[in-house]
Amino acid sequence: MDLFEKCWNWTEAKELIESGFYPYFMPLDETEGTEVTIGDKRLVMIGSNNYLGLTTHPKVRNAAIEATREFGTSCTGSRFLNGTLAWHLELEKRLAEYMEKEAALVFSTGYQTNLGTISSILGRSDYVITDKDDHASIVDGCRLSFGTMKRFRHNDMRDLGRVLASIPPDAGKLVVVDGVFSMGGDIAHLPEIVPLCKEYGARLMVDDAHAIGVLGGGKGTAVHLGVNDDVDLVMGTFSKSFASLGGFIAGSEPVIHYIQHHARSLIFSASMPPGNVAAVSAALDVMIEEPERIERVNQIGEYMRHEFRKLGFNTGPSQTPIIPVIIGDQNATFLTWRLLFEEGVYTNPVIPPAVPTNLSLLRTSYMATHTDDQMAFVLEKFEKVGKMLDLI
């Protein structure tokens, strides 16, 4: 069989495109954060991870522009060789202080952060234990490692205990969980995970991509739940609350130093461009100087979750500004997405394998810069489409 035969025979996306229900790779002609323009249509954006609304903040924008003027558009090299700026080191120092850890290391993307961190610290005799709802980058980091991967049922502490008990006591063990799960919007049970890790001699890593800037006064899930000192590694991304591109890992200095010299996704990738580094640093300033943004995005999340449930929608286990609207059937999910799009609301349809079978949903997420009028508009359109399709 020709290697490309699978490509020629794959028609799912083309069928959706032809039917008018293809929701992916849509080009945005204009974006102001809370609203976007696609063609001649203006929509309220509730499908973005721009939680604090900082992509359009003047301080963040200007920092990126000035850094590009001063240093150009790229470092044209890896951190390992010629791609480290003094700004990278300063940002790492600031992030470590903010996250209340000894050290931090900046990668070019959040995805690369998980790939490099997990694959570099797991050896052939080691085990990594992940939540079944963990992000794809965690799964891929485990696959790239030489360790053995085991999984436990989502947020099921009894099952986590069972998996840990099945591993040889003298083996190296790393438990990796999302702090906030990107589809369900629920929070990892860190106060229960920590004692299990201690009981079985496992280290704990938390992917806080969707929690930094949102929970714990902006410092993430472990601070929010009061267990920061018991979490060994915290990962974060810059493509969400930090309004840029990149990622970082924070933890004890010897561990970060080791990752710095063994993570292939760091050593063999070009470093973060100056403009991105400057944007992150400016965003961190705003997070510290304007804590009301963090309060606002959580208030909006609580309000929208309450209103969706009052209308009769199933929002699953959400506890954060990520609020899934669970439809169930895949075709119904695409239809709901399309009707909302026509009504001026931008959502993200999510289908298996990104979510379990029969749990297709519309992922909605909110920004501190959303207005009350925009929220009222979204709820009005959801109610209209929900009644039209007998969803509520």
Tell me the C-alpha to C-alpha distance, in Å, between residue 369 and each of 30, 45, 123, 294: 17, 11, 45, 10
173 shares its domain with 297: no
75 shares its domain with 221: yes
Confidence at 100, pLDDT banded by 50, 70, 90: very high
Residues 6+ apart with CB under 8 A from 267: 78, 79, 80, 261
CATH number for the domain spanning 238: value is: 3.40.640.10
pLDDT: is 338 or 20 the higher one? Answer: 338
Q: How far is 313 from 320, CA to CA, in rounded Å?
A: 16
3-state SS record for 61-84: HHHHHHHHHHHCCCCCCECCCCCC
88 shares its domain with 201: yes
99 shares its domain with 47: no
81 shares its domain with 168: yes
User: β-strand 127-131 against 173-178: which pairing, if any?
Assistant: parallel
pLDDT in tens, 223-256: 999 999 999 999 999 999 999 999 999 999 999 9
User: β-strand 148-152 against 127-131: which pairing, if any?
Assistant: parallel
Mean per-residue pLDDT, 336-352: 96
- pLDDT at position 353, please? 87
pLDDT in tens, 5-58: 999 999 989 998 998 889 999 999 988 789 999 999 999 999 999 999 999 999
Question: Which residue from 313, 312, 315, 293 is spatially nearest to 370, judged by alpha carbons?
Answer: 293
**DSSP designation for 156:** -
Mean per-residue pLDDT, 84-102: 97
- Give percent of the chain above pLDDT 90: 94
39 shares its domain with 92: no
- pLDDT at position 251, please? 98
- Give percent of the chain above pLDDT 70: 100
Residue 355 has pLDDT above 90, yes or no: no
CATH number for the domain spanning 369: value is: 3.90.1150.10
301 shares its domain with 204: no
- pLDDT at position 267, please? 97
19 shares its domain with 85: no
- Owning domain of residue 343: 5-51+291-388
Tokens 């003094």 -> residue? 86
Q: Count structural domains, the chain.
A: 2
195 shares its domain with 304: no
Would you tell me how many other CB atoms lie within 10 Å of the CB of residue 344? 14
178 shares its domain with 274: yes
Mean per-residue pLDDT, 278-290: 98
Mean per-residue pLDDT, 215-222: 98
Residue 204 has pLDDT above 90, yes or no: yes
Query: Where among 259, 289, 319 does a domain terminate?
Result: 289
pTM for the predicted model, two decimal places: 0.95
149 shares its domain with 137: yes
Query: Where among 289, 308, 333 does a domain terminate?
Result: 289
314 shares its domain with 278: no
pLDDT in tens, 167-201: 999 999 999 999 999 999 999 999 999 999 999 99
Mean per-residue pLDDT, 328-344: 95
Query: Where among 256, 289, 322 does a domain terminate?
Result: 289
Tokens 């079944």 -> residue? 132
The sign of the CA dihedral 72, 74, 76, 81 is: positive
